[in-house]
Structure 1
Amino acid sequence: MHQHAARAQTLRRNGFTFKQFFVAHDRCAMKVGTDAILLGAWSAALQNGRVLDIGCGSGIISLMLAQRSPDAVIIDAVELETEASMQAQENRLASPWASRIVVVNADIVNFAAQTTSRYALIVSNPPYFPPGSACRTQELSTARYTESLSHETLLHCAAMLLAPEGCFCVVLPISVASDFCTTACHQGWWVRQRLVVREKADGKPHRQLLALSKQAGACDTQALIVRADDGSYSCDFRALTNDFYLFM
């Protein structure tokens, strides 16, 4: 009884409680989900330099990377939707790393054209569906469909902003990852790391996490199974996300 009561006090509404921070997401079109958590935990952690989070939403990935990196690392979190950027700003201010995260309400195309910064790491959980059925809000449509940010444009902006030895990491559904890689190849990118994600061992892959570079080289491909046969989180998933999930 006492344990359940403690959990109820720890967990807040309208967001997601992690071990070291809380992410409110009630004003964001896309809520905190496994895709963002996987990307935030899997992307390379810097020891110094600058990070760019394209389409940061609630700021979840920026906060995870801030937790994983030392004080020398600064993170720019760019978000097009005003309400989402305001919520990311509030999440930043409520976190232990407020001084290291800069939230910018801007279109990434305009941001790329104006900034002089170059980034050792760029991350994005991007829109990935081609325009289709109408969403209930314009904000959800922007977050979900590539009409507002095509993959060609995303890759072009990342190329403009990435430092020469830098890395660009994304998470995508299996259904669009192949086309994304083809587009990236045509723009001179190399896929250097790939994580293929299955929900269970006997299931089909449903997500890919990709680390791209402008430096030529071979691709290291690994696999991750999220859940064991009994439905609990797998040992590999627990190891990857243990620093974040509250009740791991």
Structure 2
Amino acid sequence: MGNIFEFKQFSVNQEGCAMRINTDGVLLGAMTDHSNVSSVLDIGTGTGVIALMMAQKFPNAHVYAVEIDKQASERAKENFENSSFSERLTIINSDIFQWENDMRFDLIVSNPPFYINSLHNPDQRRKVAKHTDVEFFQGMFKFAADHLEQHGSLQIIVPVELLDKLIEEGKSNGLHLQKQIDIQSFTDSQPFRSILSFGRENLKLVQDNFIIYKERSQHSDSYKTILKPYFLAF
């Protein structure tokens, strides 16, 4: 994959970014769903791709994107400025937990670092981008509890192994799992990611699954449908 990834309504320059555009990110961006969205926060925006997808999906929303890595935040800023959504996109180069603000958001999204307690990548920038400890998720849920509007939603994509831990962490911050979409490569394979939606209301859990491929190297119709508004290939 080259440095420039062309979407239907914007392009993303990935040069110098520790984490490039990946399936997790575009699935979260495409499958995020919420009503009456006027403010969105993308935690750990990287190249800015999810924030750009949010700006396309929610045409009346202002999208804020926080990124701790300075080089990545500068690249995201460039991508934002080169898009037709530039007036509705704001980049913040900061650790999310050190970003002092009193804002509230209708929607908070994140393709967060993960692999808790796993072997950390020796490259420091990729380590920050791709790995974390349990404290990150504790902090993220606390931040969401403090900054979500009353009917706001926190939506994240994570490995299925983290599900129980995150449900408990959400509850301890007054956020309940409201929707769970399990991601599978094929119909006969086990889920490897889950898109989780948390909110303040303790609603009946909505569960679904999503298949990426109908056969090897051939995307499912569902995958093509949700990414058709974004991908040139579809």
Counterpart-to-counterpart distance in 1, 2:199 and 2:134: 24
Is it true that 1:26 corresponds to 2:12 in the alignment?
no
* Contact kept? 1:142, 1:148, Cα under 8 Å: no
Code of the residue aligned with 2:95 in structure 1: it is D
Distance change in 2, residues 1:62/1:149 (3 Å): farther
Q: Could you give the per-residue CA deviations for residues 166-189 of structure 1, whole angstroms, max 9, x where no partner exists?
A: 000000011222221222123221
* Contact kept? 2:39, 2:107, Cα under 8 Å: yes
* Aligned residue pairs, count: 234
Is it true that 1:223 corresponds to 2:217 in the alignment?
no
Q: Could you give the per-residue CA deviations for residues 153-208 of structure 1, whole angstroms, max 9, x where no partner exists?
A: 11111111111110000000112222212221232211111111100001111110
In the TM superposition, residue 132 of structure 1 has moved relative to its aligned partner by 3.9
In the TM superposition, residue 136 of structure 1 has moved relative to its aligned partner by 3.8
Code of the residue aligned with 2:45 in structure 1: it is C
In the TM superposition, residue 239 of structure 1 has moved relative to its aligned partner by 1.2
Counterpart-to-counterpart distance in 2, 1:147 and 1:134: 10
Q: Could you give the per-residue CA deviations for residues 18-55 of structure 1, whole angstroms, max 9, x where no partner exists?
A: 11111111211111001000110111255442100011
Normalization by structure 2: what TM-score?
0.94
Is it true that 1:55 corresponds to 2:22 in the alignment?
no
1:181 maps to 167
Distance change in 2, residues 1:231/1:101 (3 Å): same
Which of 81, 84, 87 lines up with 2:72 in the alignment? Answer: 84
Distance change in 2, residues 1:204/1:119 (3 Å): same
TM alignment of 1:165-176, pairs within 5 A: 165-176=151-162
Which of 87, 92, 104 lines up with 1:104 in the alignment? Answer: 92
* Contact kept? 1:171, 1:210, Cα under 8 Å: yes
In the TM superposition, residue 147 of structure 1 has moved relative to its aligned partner by 3.9
In the TM superposition, residue 90 of structure 1 has moved relative to its aligned partner by 0.6
2:140 maps to 154
1:8 maps to none
Distance change in 2, residues 1:65/1:152 (3 Å): same
Counterpart-to-counterpart distance in 1, 2:117 and 2:107: 29
- Runs of 5+ unmatched residues, structure 1: 1-11
* Contact kept? 1:52, 1:121, Cα under 8 Å: yes
Which of 93, 97, 109 lines up with 1:123 in the alignment? Answer: 109
Question: Secondary structure in 2 aligned to 1:228?
Answer: strand
Which of 8, 25, 36 lines up with 1:36 in the alignment? Answer: 25
Code of the residue aligned with 1:86 in structure 2: it is E
Counterpart-to-counterpart distance in 1, 2:151 and 2:135: 25
Which of 115, 124, 132 lines up with 1:138 in the alignment? Answer: 124
1:6 maps to none
Counterpart-to-counterpart distance in 2, 1:15 and 1:137: 23
Distance change in 2, residues 1:149/1:80 (3 Å): farther
Code of the residue aligned with 2:231 in structure 1: it is Y
